[in-house]
Amino acid sequence: MTPTAPNPNTLSPKPITIGISQGDINGIGLEVIMKTFSDPAMLELCTPVLYSSAKTMSYHRKALQMESFNYNTITSSDGITPRKFNLANIYSEDVNIELGKLTETGGKYAIRSFQAACESLSKGKIDALVTAPIHKHNTHSEDFPFAGHTGYLDERFGKGNSLMMLVAGDLKVALCTDHLPIASVAEAITQERILKKLKALANSLKQDFSINKPKIAVLGLNPHAGDSGTIGAEEEKVILPAVKTSVQEGMLVYGPYPADGFFGTMAFKKFDAVLAMYHDQGLIPFKYMAFDSGVNYTAGLPVIRTSPDHGTAFDIAGKGVANEQSFRNAVYLACDLVRTRRDNKLATANPLKVSTASANQRDE
């Protein structure tokens, strides 16, 4: 299920510019970023732009003994140099970096980097955004009242239409609810919400992955998918009616399935994607199968954002042992999505018009 690197010889002629937010400066974000782009082939694939500072980068290069990692420092997106690792110097003050620690400073500069990258994304200065991990405890505040990247992206770009999707090759798991306490999940699952997520998922599979008639499996909420109402009524009263409505609207949707048996029997291989009802129901099996390679993709947006599917990993920060494969795959997927959207836009541009005369002849 691990994605493979695209062949640079088959890439579209227009270079792809990938913006990168640094994540928590006390975590492994900058480590996996530098490890990923230490490979010269990655600079043939895309042009990266990291939103950080030269001082922060210098600290991490020294701490990780990666002083040979080179970058091109710029002060605005207009100075981006193709096929080079670009560092957008968005702050110049000295920052107290405490590797492995959860601090207010770590959250503050993670959000500053993220919002600067989003600004470039909104202006079309970058083609896609890859976000390094943040910690929700030190980023949530009055100024950033979101439980992570997704909520902010949804409010700024998606207007309520975003969808959290985990991707590892052919395995795609989307979430009906994401960062909610378990006590709030059942109440949040409504027919309207399920239908909205199913439409976003189906559209993304078509637009972003070129799957013309996607087959989607829907999981139940309760053990054994409720056992016909014996262990909860959500399946019979909410989920199944939503599935039936989606089928009536032309989608290929099946379920609800008991989550344990569905993944245990590898039934997911028969579908193009899975809609799980809540965070751990989808992410536990996904991460079991693809922890070092999976990618978090925010579908349903007019912009492209991907992220590794792991967190800040404070316990190993600064030790040089972080695995960069998930971040590398996040870059691969972002590039694939940019190309796919470009190709689909070209394919649907200027469609041939059917003349009135021809239409009348067919009617006759």
Domain check: are 5 and 151 in the same one?
yes
Strand partners, 172: 167
Domain membership of residue 177 as a residue range: 165-296
pLDDT tens readout for residues 75-129: 877 789 998 999 999 999 999 999 999 999 999 999 999 999 999 999 999 999 9
Total Cβ atoms within 10 A of residue 8:
12
Domain check: are 13 and 25 in the same one?
yes
Domain check: are 143 and 233 in the same one?
no
- What's residue 5's pLDDT? 59
What is the value of pTM for the model shown?
A: 0.89
Residue 111 phi, psi dihedral angles, 5° rounding? -70, -35
| Stretch 172-192: mean pLDDT | 95
- What's residue 262's pLDDT? 95
Count of domains in the chain? 2
Domain check: are 230 and 279 in the same one?
yes
- Give the residue from 251, 266, 296 where a domain finishes: 296
DSSP string, 221-264: SSGGGGTTTTT-SHIIIIIHHHHHHHHHTT-EEEEEE-HHHHHH
Using CA atoms, how far residue 77 sits from 7, 13, 81, in Å, is 27, 20, 9
Write out the H or E segment, with its range, that includes residue 303.
none
140 in Cβ contact with 97 (< 8 Å): no
- Give the residue from 267, 296, 325 where a domain finishes: 296
150 in Cβ contact with 179 (< 8 Å): yes
Write out the H or E segment, with its range, that includes residue 75.
none
Statement: residue 361 has pLDDT above 70: no
- What's residue 7's pLDDT? 52
- Give the residue from 296, 314, 331 where a domain finishes: 296
**pLDDT averaged over every residue in the chain:** 91
Statement: residue 200 has pLDDT above 80: yes
Domain check: are 276 and 312 in the same one?
no
With 0-12 / 13-18 / 19 or more C-beta atoms within 10 angstroms meaning exposed / middle / buried, residue 261 is exposed
Domain check: are 225 and 158 in the same one?
no
Domain check: are 213 and 190 in the same one?
yes
Domain check: are 178 and 318 in the same one?
no
Domain check: are 311 and 250 in the same one?
no
pLDDT range class, residue 345, cuts 50, 70, 90: confident
Note the maximum CA span of the chain.
78
pLDDT range class, residue 8, cuts 50, 70, 90: very low
Domain check: are 9 and 108 in the same one?
yes
| Stretch 348-363: mean pLDDT | 55
- What's residue 9's pLDDT? 46
- Count the helix, strand and coil residues of the chain and give each as a percent rounded to the nearest 5: 45, 15, 40
Domain check: are 154 and 8 in the same one?
yes
CA separation for the pair 47, 53 (Å, rounded)? 18
pLDDT tens readout for residues 298-339: 999 999 999 998 999 999 999 999 999 999 999 999 999 999
Domain check: are 115 and 6 in the same one?
yes
CATH number for the domain that contains residue 193: 3.40.718.10
Residue 287 phi, psi dihedral angles, 5° rounding? -70, -25
pLDDT tens readout for residues 27-86: 999 999 999 999 999 999 999 999 999 999 999 999 999 999 999 999 877 789 998 999
